[in-house]
Structure 1
Amino acid sequence: METIDRCCLTFIAFLCVFKVCEPCQSVVAKRNQLFVPEGGSTHMSCEVVHCGLSWKGGWVFKDFNSTTFTQIFPSSRIHPSNDSMSANRTRLTIHIQSINQSDAGAYKCVISWPPQDLSSSGHLTYINVTAAAGVHWSIAEGSERKLSHRLLVCFGALMCFPIVLCVVWCLTQDRPSAPPVPPHPRTSITERVKANKEVVYAEVALNDRRPQKPCPKQEMQPTIYSSLHFK
């Protein structure tokens, strides 16, 4: 008998390892992040594995500034629904229409099991509300306007360029031209020395007003000067 019990337990463990048997009292949901434009719509889903046991609960919501979750109830924009997949599973789906900035936040499924006073929750799904399509169109139109303004500025700059050239040309014409620079004579040192061929001596006579004694005249001998030539 013990051998049979061991075989049964081994078979059950084998089935659970290969996910043949389903874990009861759990919530299956995938972590996700959605980007929805303002005014658009989206839907989310999770699965409750209950194995025929009684349960209650649904979707809860928390915005990015809050710390606690609140229960989501049906409204004109929000439509939660429960679809039975099998005797052991139920799918919880929520549809949100006309999304606005107040719908941005975290969503998840929370299920409670009354007999055991237990609770289970699935992974979070984050919804980020982006700008609407009309806003994108206005941004694109604004960028086109900026491009046209840039082209207009460039065209005006091109039209002013010839005027600036004319003003510069007129200012340069009024200025007197600089006198030409005389050519620098290229003469060697020897040529400069050859130009002075003769050495000229000057005779300086000083007149003394004091009375002078007559002195006999002496014959002046002629002085011969020689000229210097540089070769």
Structure 2
Amino acid sequence: MKTIDRCCLGFVAFLNILKVCELCRTVRATRDSRFVPEGGSIDMSCEVVHCGILWTGGWVFQDIQSTSFTLLFPSIRIQLSNYSLTVNSTRLTVHIQNINQSDAGAYKCHTSWSENLISSGHVTYVNVTAASVESSERSLSHRLLVCLGAVMGFSLVLGLFWCLTKCHPSTPPVPPHPRTSFAARVKPKKEVVYAEVALNETRLQNHRPKQVIQPTIYSSLRF
């Protein structure tokens, strides 16, 4: 019994090791189908679980008329990048801009490991559709309508401002209060002046006319 148990435990451990090795050499991607208008752009990504094992890989492409995949290289329209998610995994991304009909086909991630092992992710099918002329015309007309509405709104606001300034006379400005000192703002008190007029008696006599003293006649004799 002991020997059988040891064999079973060894077999289970071997299976776990195989499972770990399999998980550490995996390409995670989602099977997808996309429709992209001609002249547009697309972004795709996958995750490579390597657990620190040396590997090489990238994105491969198969067009509609081909039967094999070819490796994608960066160009003016195609941008390839990779960055580490964790210590054990790396994400591969591809960005294609200004898509044309020759970009239609299947895309997937392809990796090569040691001991001549190869892994691939699920395929993403890209279908390139014709560019919609109606949508471009609608977008142009929409832009024209937006510009026209902005000009009309600005004219309306400008006219309203002009009417408010011309129709209603502006109130006269309030004169500023002079900043004078406290002593200047205090009204001076009125002083009471007492005047004394003294008439000179002699001066008054000079101005009065002299009265002629008539003699008093008690009796008169006439012959």
Please give the range of the TM-score, normalised by the shorter of the 2 chains: 0.5 to 0.7
Report what 1:43 is aligned to.
Answer: 43
Aligned match of 2:211: none
1:130 aligns with: 129
Indicate conservation of the 8 Å contact 1:104/1:128, yes or no.
yes
Amino acid of the structure 2 residue aligned with 1:33:
S
Give the 3 Å change call, closer, same or farther, for CA 116–11 of structure 1 in structure 2.
Answer: closer
Letter in 1 for 2:128: V
Matches within 5 A, 1:170-209: none
1:109 aligns with 109
User: Which residue of structure 1 lines up, in the alignment, with residue 202 of structure 2?
Assistant: none
SS in 2 for 1:40: coil
What displacement does 1:51 show?
A: 0.2
Paired amino acid for 2:62: K
How far apart in 1 are the matches of 2:119 and 2:39?
32
CA distance in 1, matches of 2:14, 2:83: 29
Larger mean CA deviation between 104-113 and 3-12 belongs to 3-12
Q: Structure 2 counterpart of 1:108, which letter?
A: K
Q: Using the aligned pairs only, state the percent identity.
A: 56
TM-score, structure 1 normalization: 0.51
Name the SS for the 1:66 alignment partner.
coil
Q: Is the 8 A contact 1:107 1:124 kept in 2?
A: yes
How far residue 64 of structure 1 moved from its aligned partner, in angstroms, is: 1.2
After TM superposition, the score normalised by the length of structure 2 is 0.52
Shift of 1:7: 8.3
- What secondary structure sits across from 1:48 in the alignment? strand
The CA deviation string for residues 57-112 of structure 1, in whole angstroms up to 9 with x for no partner, is 10000011110110000000100100100110000000010011111000000000
Aligned to 2:133, the other structure's residue is in SS state: helix
Contact 1:48 1:91 in 2 (8 A): yes
- Give the C-alpha shift of residue 23 in structure 1: 1.1
Counterpart AA for 1:46: C
**Residue 56 (str. 1) matches residue 56 (str. 2):** yes
Distance 2:74 2:105 in 1: 18
Q: Deviations over 1:144-202 (max 9, x none)?
A: xxxxxxxxxxxxxxxxxxxxxxxxxxxxxxxxxxxxxxxxxxxxxxxxxxxxxxxxxxx
2:70 maps to: 70
Equivalents in 1 of 2:49, 2:102: separation in Å? Answer: 31
Secondary structure (helix, strand or coil) at the match of 1:34 reads strand
> Unpaired runs of 5+ in structure 2?
138-223
Deviations 1:26-71 (A, max 9, x none): 1000000111111111100000000000000100000111101100
Shift of 1:22: 8.5
Relative to 1, partners in 2 of residues 1:52 and 1:134: Cα closer, same or farther, differing over 3 Å?
same
SS class of match (1:102):
helix
| 1:120 and 2:123 correspond | no
1:134 CA displacement: 2.2
36 and 21 in structure 1: CA distance in 2 versus 1, 3 angstrom threshold:
same
**Runs of 4 or more above 6 Å deviation:** 1-14
Q: Tell me if structure 2 keeps the 8 A contact 1:22–1:49.
A: no
Spell out, residue by residue over 1:1-24, the C-alpha distance to the aligned partner (whole angstroms, 9 max, x if none).
Answer: 99899889979989x99xx99911
Against the structure 1 CA distance between its residues 84 and 12, is the aligned structure 2 distance closer, same or farther, given a 3 Å change threshold? farther
CA distance in 2, matches of 1:102, 1:44: 17
